[in-house]
Amino acid sequence: MKIAVDAMGGDFAPLEIVKGSIEAVKAFPHMEIVLVGDEAQIHKVLSEHGEADNPRISIHHASEVIEMNEHPGIALRKKKDASIVVATRLVREKQCQAVIAPGSTGAAVAAALFGLGRIKGIDRPTIATPIPTPEGVTVMLDSGANSNSKPKHLVQGAIMGYNYARLMFGKENPTVGLLNIGEESTKGNDVVLATYKLLEQLKTIPFKGNVEGRDIPKGTVDVVVCDGFVGNVVLKFAEGLVGVVTQLLKEGIKESGLFAKLGALLVYPVFKKLKKRLDHTENGGAPLLGVNGVFMICHGSSRSKEILTAIKIAGELVERKIIENIQHSIEEEGAITYDDVD
């Protein structure tokens, strides 16, 4: 299996991206990595880590990079040889089976849409993010691909999220909830009210009704559906809250007496385990579901560990045939008939 990695995307490219790719080929013997970007820079990092001659790591030169502050649509039109564009093209041409895309989320989504196209029956792709819960994870989508969704987009997101939760997290029949300001079916704005009615009509997916923000970390349902604006705010708030709580705990322990510090040492293994559960870097990124290829979007601040994890997840999505499963569900539900619903 070959994975195309945009080696120039993100704040720490190409060093951390290349390091994560090196770790991936060591961890997964069945994988090959194609590093896309400036050949001289990538080769330098490989040489410094003694991997320049590794037969399972190759370089595909791309002369341009889309920066974080560039407008995605304009940049894609101007920079035909941008690393994210070239990496996506390798999947479209069947030279690779998946793309790893750190860096600009907007550029990644645009490159995937233009380069891979959409699965039949899907109008807009969606980013699916796993949120830790006491029982495992809740998949929240959309977490940033679309900021102005229509009811049909949310319904299609529910179908994609259902398949992702089933294939990746072993949920035999994942439950789906619609994120709202209350549990009652009469609450919410016009988009949410219309979406609720459509989700009730799904034949093979168990829709459990509205859920509130507090239900996401509780794991009330396996899949939570919302538009990308709301989902991204929820995600960034959760990431920030974890960091603040961790910092407050550290400061509180330092300011307390000897007994508090001794107690902290006793529960340190528990804190370490909890931090690992809540650490967003453990996820390695999130899949962009709905495009006609496996496409992983990573944080712009991704380090080698996140790249390694993203490559692992991408490989599992390919092996578990996520594209084919979504296509089958769309056909089974007849969700394409919702195209005339605003």
Q: pLDDT tens for residues 176-229?
A: 999 999 988 888 889 999 999 999 999 889 999 999 998 998 899 999 999 999
Based on the fold, state whether residues 307 and 254 are members of the same structural domain. Answer: no
Q: What is the DSSP string of 87-105?
A: HHHHHHTTS-SEEEE-S-H
Q: What six digits make up the tokens of 157?
A: 């997101």
221 close to 138: Cβ distance less than 8 angstroms: yes
Tell me what pLDDT residue 32 has.
96
| Residue that the structure tokens 């994890």 belong to | 309
CATH assignment of the domain containing 27: 3.40.718.10
Shared domain for 155 and 225, answered yes or no, is yes
CA 127 to chain centre: 5
pLDDT band at 339 (very low <50, low <70, confident <90, very high): very low
Same domain, 49 and 169: no
Q: In what order do the strands lie in the sheet with 57-61?
A: 57-61, 32-37, 2-6, 98-101, 294-297, 286-289, 126-127
Q: Looking at per-residue confidence, does 179 or 245 come out higher?
A: 179
Integer Cα distance of 137 and 84 in angstroms: 29
Regarding whether 183 and 81 lie in a shared domain, the answer is no
User: What's the pLDDT tens digit per position in 257-280?
Assistant: 665 556 656 555 655 555 555 555
In a domain, 185, yes or no: yes
Q: How far apart are CA 60 and CA 42, in angstroms?
A: 10
pLDDT band per the 50, 70, 90 thresholds, residue 172: confident
287 within 8 A of 313, measured Cβ to Cβ? yes
pLDDT higher at 146 or 304: 304
Band of the pLDDT at 20, cuts 50, 70, 90?
very high
| Domain extent at residue 12 | 2-122+290-320
pLDDT exceeds 60 at position 312: yes
* pLDDT top residue among 129 and 237: 129
Residue 92 and residue 142 in one domain: no
In a domain, 282, yes or no: no
Domain identity same for 96 and 29: yes
Whether 103 and 310 have beta carbons less than 8 Å apart is answered as no
* Dihedral sign, Cα of residue 226, residue 230, residue 232, residue 238: negative
Phi then psi for residue 4, to 5 deg, are: -90, 125
One domain, residues 140 and 272: yes
Provide the pairing of β-strand 126-127 with 98-101: unpaired
The pLDDT assigned to 104 comes to 86
Residue 326 structure tokens = 């979504």
Query: Are residues 246 and 175 both part of a single domain?
Result: yes
* 160, part of any domain: yes
**Count of the separate structural domains present in the chain:** 2
Can you tell me the mean pLDDT for 243-247?
A: 71
Give me the pLDDT at residue 135, please: 79
Q: Is the pLDDT of residue 144 over 70?
A: yes
Determine the Cα–Cα distance for residues 127 and 266; give it in Å rounded to an integer.
Answer: 39
Percentage of residues in the chain having pLDDT higher than 90: 58
Whole-angstrom Cα distance, residue 47 to residue 58? Answer: 13
Per-residue pLDDT at 171: 84
Work out the average pLDDT over 15-29: 95
Per residue in 85-115, pLDDT tens?
A: 999 999 999 999 999 999 888 899 999 999 9
Say whether pLDDT at 248 is over 50: yes
pLDDT at 266: 57
Asked if the model's pLDDT at residue 282 lies above 70, the reply is no
Report the 10 Å Cβ neighbour count for 118.
15
Tracing tokens 């699965």 back to the chain, one arrives at 119
272 and 294 both lie in a single domain: no
At position 83, the amino acid (one-letter code) is S
If asked whether residues 38 and 107 sit together in one domain, one would say yes
Calculate the average pLDDT of the chain.
87
pTM: 0.86
Q: For residue 93, how many C-alpha atoms fall within 13 Å in the half-sphere facing its CB?
A: 8
Specify if 341 maps to a domain. no
For range 43-49, the mean pLDDT: 95
